[in-house]
Amino acid sequence: MQQGFFPRKNLEINLHASVVSTGFLRENYGFDKIEVRDNGDGIKAADVPVMAVKHYTSKISSSEDLERLTTYGFRGEALGSICGTSQVLVITKTAADDFSTQYILDGSGHVTSQKPSHLGQGTTVTVLKLFQNLPVRKQFYSTDKKRKEEIRKIQNLLMAYGIVKPELRLTLTHNKSPPEYLTAFDGQV
């Protein structure tokens, strides 16, 4: 798994969701923290227990569902994969919820704890200590050249998706620098 896998999967999901804005925050090239925040529909309470369980999806319950599928990806597959390499927190709120809830996930994608949160509607996924249990993968990104190359790949990915859906506001912030706006979005919501 490459660092760009997680942002790409979240972008694919946001392209077909009712998301207007998606922000990507990275600290220390993503090794300390990657945060993806959107203002979409949020994750329904009924889907929360299985939102990151590998190979599970609430989108397909019969073979006919495959013909009606209009999505680009499954958040659960991305979350399930990233849970095996990092610490993962998910904060989500739907329009029906009174407040958002933060969920902490274990290495298998199961919810281990939850608590109320203050964020608005949408979903925020925070990945901490990327590749903490995969030292060889972390070592692959040990040089500044490799790390900067990965940031460029993510910038290029975000710009490409911004061309596909210019009304989607995409921002990338690295190490608390001012955010880069990577779409034709004019800053008005």
Range of 105's domain? 5-181
The DSSP code for 6 is H
* Angle, vertex CA 168, rays to CA 81 and CA 122, nearest 5: 55
What's the rounded Cα separation, in Å, for the pair 141 and 9?
20
Residue 189: inside a domain: no
User: ∠ CA 167-6-117 to the nearest 5 degrees?
Assistant: 80
Q: Average pLDDT in the 168-186 region?
A: 72
Please count the other Cβ atoms lying within 10 Å of the Cβ belonging to residue 103.
21
pTM recorded for the entire structure:
0.79
Q: Which residue has the tokens 């509607």?
A: 121
Specify the 3-state DSSP secondary structure of 109.
coil
Query: Is residue 88, in this structure, part of any structural domain at all?
Result: yes
Total domains in the fold of the chain? 1
Establish if 177 belongs to a structural domain.
yes
Q: Please enumerate in sequence order all residues whose Cβ is within 8 A of that of 33, keeping only pairs 6 or more positions apart, or say none.
A: 25, 26, 27, 126, 127, 128
Residue 15 lies in a domain: yes
Residue 46 lies in a domain: yes
Average pLDDT over residues 25-53: 86
pLDDT for position 143? 82
Give domain status of residue 19, yes or no. yes
**What totals of helices (H) and strands (E) does the chain contain, helices first?**
5, 8
Using a pLDDT cut of 70, give the percent of the chain over it: 75
Is 186 a domain residue?
no
Residue 188 counted as domain residue: no
pLDDT tens for each residue of 70-127: 555 555 667 888 888 889 999 999 999 999 999 999 998 999 999 999 999 998 989 8
CATH number at residue 109: 3.30.565.10
Mean pLDDT of 155-163: 83
Residue 187 pLDDT: 46
